[in-house]
Amino acid sequence: MKQCVFCKIVKGEIPAKIEFEDEKILVIHDINPKAPLHLLIIPKKHIKDLTTDNEGYWNKIGEVIKMLLKVKELKGVRLVHNIGISAEVPHMHFHFLENVAATRGL
């Protein structure tokens, strides 16, 4: 989609701080973080949301989430996925937010 901000980031038309990338997934730092670590996990292919994922991106995103937990040595995170009109950007993405209380054992 020409006007999709995440499609533009995937194409390199808009700069982003990349945390991880492979052939299907891009993980970037949120420009307005709501936690000490706030990443966005984005399929490179434009998919509206989880309800229209017919290609198994959810499974791939799950693998990336597990990898991030291990690499970052996090004990807890919050995952947020907005669907339909709740999504500010209608391109499937997950917010990966460090849970400070869980990480510190509180």
H/E element, 58: helix 57-71
Report the predicted TM-score, pTM, of the whole model to 2 decimal places: 0.91
The pLDDT value given to residue 75: 86
The pLDDT value given to residue 49: 93
The pLDDT value given to residue 39: 98
Residue 1 has pLDDT above 80, yes or no: no
Annotated catalytic residues are 93
> What's the pLDDT tens digit per position in 6-39?
999 999 999 999 999 999 999 999 999 999 999 9
What's the order of all strands across the beta sheet hosting 18-21?
18-21, 25-29, 38-43, 94-98, 77-80
Per-residue CA distances from 98 to 17, 51, 74, 103, 106 (Å): 17, 25, 7, 8, 13
Token pair 């990898």 in the structure block, residue = 67
Which residues form the domain of 74? 5-103
Number of independent structural domains in the chain: 1
What's the CA gap between 74 and 90, in Å, rounded?
28
> What's the pLDDT tens digit per position in 31-74?
999 999 999 999 999 999 999 999 999 999 999 999 999 999 99
The pLDDT value given to residue 104: 52
What's the CA gap between 11 and 24, in Å, rounded?
13
